[in-house]
Amino acid sequence: MLKIKGLKAEIEGKEILKGLNLEVNPGEVHAIMGPNGSGKSTLASVLAGREEYEVTAGSVHFEGKDLLELAPEERAGEGVFLAFQYPVEIPGVSNINFIKTAVNEVREYRGLPNLETKEFMTLLKEKQQLVELSGKLANRSVNEGFSGGEKKRNEIFQMAMLDPKLGVLDETDSGLDIDALRIVSHGVNELKSKDNAFVVVTHYQRLLDYIVPDYVHVLLDGKIVKTGSKELALELEEKGYDWIIKELEEEKL
């Protein structure tokens, strides 16, 4: 589904990703862990098409298409969804109009007709319930005055509405209390199917207690240096990253 080969990317002349390889197949959940500054969020941003990042080498293919050639909205249309680490507040745009516009634009991209109001409302209610998002938030401006937990639940709600093939969660767990973490994870788990996949970028192992990964990758200095099973996350939690750095240095020798 997703094939990343030798990806190098920089921002303001500083190279962050230094030859990253990753392959994700339908039905899989991949966790990407790594210390601050290792390039986790850069990877998520490059996949979503943030323009500040310049890709200098390598390729990203999504279902055979060159993802890097596509505009952010086309990527969303193809089925890539980024749950933002810091969801953006947009004063004056109601949450419900925002999601309605997004759903219909994505449907248009996929060659589907607009949803009838009734169908839309049914879908809306169902997905709001999934992440226990109060209906009151629908008429508020996008993310404006939302609590941290509400913002993150709103991300998962949007993901549920847009029904992507690949969900990239960028530190969705940061700043969440246990209840919110449980709700967000429940939402993701409900959306999981054999046809879609998730890339979960996180700093902490605790999220992976709820969203169980098939693979755990360690990202260090812009490259994936180690891949393991969910047990690797526990090991990282316990021992930190230094032992991997040591391991790598020994390999070099």
Residues in contact with other proteins by CB under 8 A are: 48-51, 71-73, 75-77, 81-82, 84, 87-93, 97-99, 101-102, 105-106, 109, 141-142, 158, 162
Q: Least distance (Å) from other proteins to the CB of residue 108?
A: 9
Kindly list the distances between the CA atom of residue 178 and the CA atoms of 3, 57, 62, in Å, as whole numbers in the listed order: 33, 40, 34
Rounded CA gap, 224 and 218, in Å? 6
Q: Are 224 and 21 in contact (CB under 8 A)?
A: yes
Q: Least distance (Å) from other proteins to the CB of residue 166?
A: 13
Q: Least distance (Å) from other proteins to the CB of residue 198?
A: 16
Residue 143 or residue 202: which is nearer to other proteins going by CB?
Answer: 143
Residue 92 or residue 238: which is nearer to other proteins going by CB?
Answer: 92
Q: Least distance (Å) from other proteins to the CB of residue 112?
A: 12
Residue 76 or residue 199: which is nearer to other proteins going by CB?
Answer: 76
Both tokens assigned to 185 = 């994870």
Cross-strand partners of 219: 224
Between strands 90-94 and 141-142, the pairing is antiparallel
Rounded CA gap, 121 and 119, in Å? 5
Residue 63 or residue 221: which is nearer to other proteins going by CB?
Answer: 63
Both tokens assigned to 210 = 């709820």
